[in-house]
Amino acid sequence: RYPEEASIVRQAFFVAFVAFGLGALFGVIQALHRTDILRFIPSTDYYTVLTAHGVLLVIVFTIFFLVGLFQWAITRSFDRPVEDIRITKAWLALMSVGSVVTGVTILLGFVDEVGISADVLFTFYAPLQAHPLFYAGLAVFLVGTWIAGADWFRSWLAWNAEHPDDRIPLQAFVVLTTMLMWYIATIGVAVAVLFFLLPWSLGLIETVNPLLTRTLFWFFGHPVVYFWLMPAYLLWYTVLPKIAGGRLFSDPLARVVFVLFLLLSTPVGIHHQYLDPGIAESFKFIAMTNTMFLLLPSLLTAFTVVASVEHGARQRGGTGLFGWLRALPWRDPAFTGMMLAGLMFAAGGFSGMINAGMNINYLVHNTLWVPGHFHLTVGTAVALTMMAGTYWLWPQLTNRRLYSRPIGLLQVVVWFGGMALMSNAMHVSGLYGIPRRTAEPQYQGFDFSTAFGSVAELNVQLAIGGTLLFVSALLFLANLAFSWGNPTTSGLGQTLPPALSGPDDSPRVLDNMRLWAAIALVLVALAYALPLGAIVADSGLFGPGGDAYPVTVVLNSVAVTAERLTASVGATLADVGGVL
Ligand code: HEM
């Protein structure tokens, strides 16, 4: 019914899937390389591959999918077209241009003759420095996402004016709370890029304070993981119950979960910096405590989603304590994909608790355990849910049936199997101390001691898992590509059933976006004001001995003015200095 909006969603998904394909290719290259099984690139190019893998997958793929899904959710929740399609096209264009600029800058790292590189990994904090185009592209991309959020808030205000007494539809509620979180979180990365990293790589300032840019990055870097996760949650809460044959168990509980994510996502970033010197242990302890609170919305989600699926199974005639599991539509790739993704998320939650513990984190810090963890969360809970959700949504967006549901089913199962192997090997390797982010993890004259098995076995397991994942990614992309050849059909649009316990059962205060945004900001100020203040007090805005750039700029302009004055009035520089 909304062809222009559907086209925006399709375009966003298209960019997401191109990035996914490239990212998966780089993934298998590095999986085979670092295990020394097959080497397609010289080790000197490893960081170009790793940067491209990280940026393409966790910035381009996930966020383009998110904006497409959120645009769909806003359009269908409010049942109205976008307010001004030019704005919608503008943010999509900004995000695309930004991604291309950043992506090409990274890939130019393969061509030494050009002299442009951005091998700074997806975390891009100092002391690693990229070509200015890398940061400029990121900045443009970020502005695009901000306008996207504003576009959705505008739709909400327009809808609200016509429905002042209605509760915000749940899908729109997810979009709005998530975007509020995004606005708060991106303050950190915007400051880091615009005031420090970009001027530094342009040569406007000589030094930066690495601890400050790291802290600003992680201010953003933890909430961004919830930004990736929220599209998956949106699908689990609002689409999965329908595919299972039932209805969402509780809309009020869902709202509580999304408010909790808005409040708790940002004041935890310092838990990524347990090993950073220069941040007091007490601040790290506070970040750890806040992090543990984040388990609450995840556990509430596990309860609500499983209860909804069980309700669906019983509607289909399922019975017994566990017998209802048999009544579920396991042949549907959308259903099975989301369920397997949820299962992996539970495993990822456990390894995440290890990461979050201040003391036990020392055991796994910067080892392969860490990518083992986040390939379960963002790499599967999020990515597999996005693929499964696409099997459900794509036919509705294109009016064409999916090319093959059995291939879709095979694809999600292969992803699950591949990830079980790769992530298991990564976790175990991490426990033995094998480092992440290196092309050559085996140091000369040093053997990692293993409790059982051998490092060679773990490497083979990792490489087989990575290869299966790549095959699964190809199956997914091919299935979508072949779907274009199917004839168009109508009647693929699906409605979503209301929740068993609907929005009217939840207090109205939950819909008060201003209140939650204000509380979230206060919590962020409480968590970050003192640590940031201490970092700047200890080692300066621009690092110890660094030329503070406002001062440099001011002094430079004073010097230039002085020279001009000297030239025009024939005075000496000393005279002018005296006057100034
Ligand atoms: C890192 C393989 C899919 C996100 C890695 C590493 C490997 C790998 C081996 C560790 C490299 C190292 O530390 O030296 C793969 C394979 C994939 C895949 C074979 C599938 C074909 C994904 C997906 C995501 C993802 C779907 C997210 C949506 C990341 C990130 C890193 C990483 C963020 C860390 C990069 C860094 O340390 O800077 N991947 N991966 N990967 N992967 Fe994947």
The one-digit pLDDT tens for each residue of the chain (580 residues) are 799 999 999 999 999 999 999 999 999 999 999 999 999 999 999 999 999 999 999 999 999 999 999 999 999 999 999 999 999 999 999 999 999 999 999 999 999 999 999 999 999 999 999 999 999 999 999 999 999 999 999 999 999 999 999 999 999 999 999 999 999 999 999 999 999 999 999 999 999 999 999 999 999 999 999 999 999 999 999 999 999 999 999 999 999 999 999 999 999 999 999 999 989 999 999 999 999 999 999 999 999 999 999 999 999 999 999 999 999 999 999 999 999 999 999 999 999 999 999 999 999 999 999 999 999 999 999 999 999 999 999 999 999 999 999 999 999 999 999 999 999 999 999 999 999 999 988 877 888 888 888 999 999 999 999 999 999 999 999 999 999 999 999 888 889 999 999 999 989 999 999 999 999 999 999 999 999 999 999 999 998 765 554 555 555 555 555 565 555 555 444 444 444 3
Q: Give the model's pLDDT for residue 579.
A: 41
Looking at 3.40.50.300, 1.20.210.10, 3.50.50.60, 3.40.50.720, the CATH number of the domain 3-547 comes to 1.20.210.10
Q: Is 27 in the pocket of ligand 1 (CB under 6 A)?
A: yes
Which atom from ligand 1 is nearest to the alpha carbon of 438? 14
CB atoms within 10 A of CB 164: 7
DSSP bridge pairs for 501: 250
DSSP-based three-state secondary structure for 436: coil
- Provide the H-helix boundaries in 2-59: 3-34, 46-55
How open is the CA angle 481-487-490, to the nearest 5 degrees? Answer: 110
202 contacts 131 by C-beta, under 8 angstroms: no
List the structure tokens of 434.
Answer: 């094998």
Kindly give, in sequence order, each residue whose CB lies less than 8 Å from that of residue 176, ignoring residues fewer than 6 positions away. 152, 153, 156, 168, 513
CB atoms within 10 A of CB 471: 17
Q: Is 28 in the pocket of ligand 1 (CB under 6 A)?
A: yes
Q: What is residue 367's DSSP assignment?
A: B
Q: Is 470 in the pocket of ligand 1 (CB under 6 A)?
A: yes
DSSP-based three-state secondary structure for 448: coil
pTM recorded for the entire structure: 0.93
- Shortest CA distance to 241 belongs to which of 392, 400, 401, 414? 392
181 contacts 223 by C-beta, under 8 angstroms: yes
Provide the residue type at 485 as one letter.
G
Q: Specify the residue with its C-alpha closest to ligand 1, atom 24.
A: 379
Q: Specify the residue with its C-alpha closest to ligand 1, atom 22.
A: 379
DSSP bridge pairs for 367: 435
Which atom from ligand 1 is nearest to the alpha carbon of 20? 26
Kindly give, in sequence order, each residue whose CB lies less than 8 Å from that of residue 413, ignoring residues fewer than 6 positions away. 336, 340
Q: Is 24 in the pocket of ligand 1 (CB under 6 A)?
A: yes
Half-sphere exposure of 165 (CA within 13 A, CB side): 0
Cα distances (Å, whole numbers) of residue 541 to 129, 184, 186, 447: 17, 21, 19, 42
Domain layout of the chain by residue ranges: 3-547, 548-580
Kindly give, in sequence order, each residue whose CB lies less than 8 Å from that of residue 251, ignoring residues fewer than 6 positions away. 170, 499, 501, 502, 503, 505, 506
Give CA–CA dist 457/129, Å, rounded.
36
Q: Specify the residue with its C-alpha closest to ligand 1, atom 37.
A: 437
- Shortest CA distance to 209 belongs to which of 552, 544, 553, 547? 544
Give CA–CA dist 189/415, Å, rounded.
32
Q: Give the model's pLDDT for residue 30.
A: 97
List the structure tokens of 201.
Answer: 């790589």
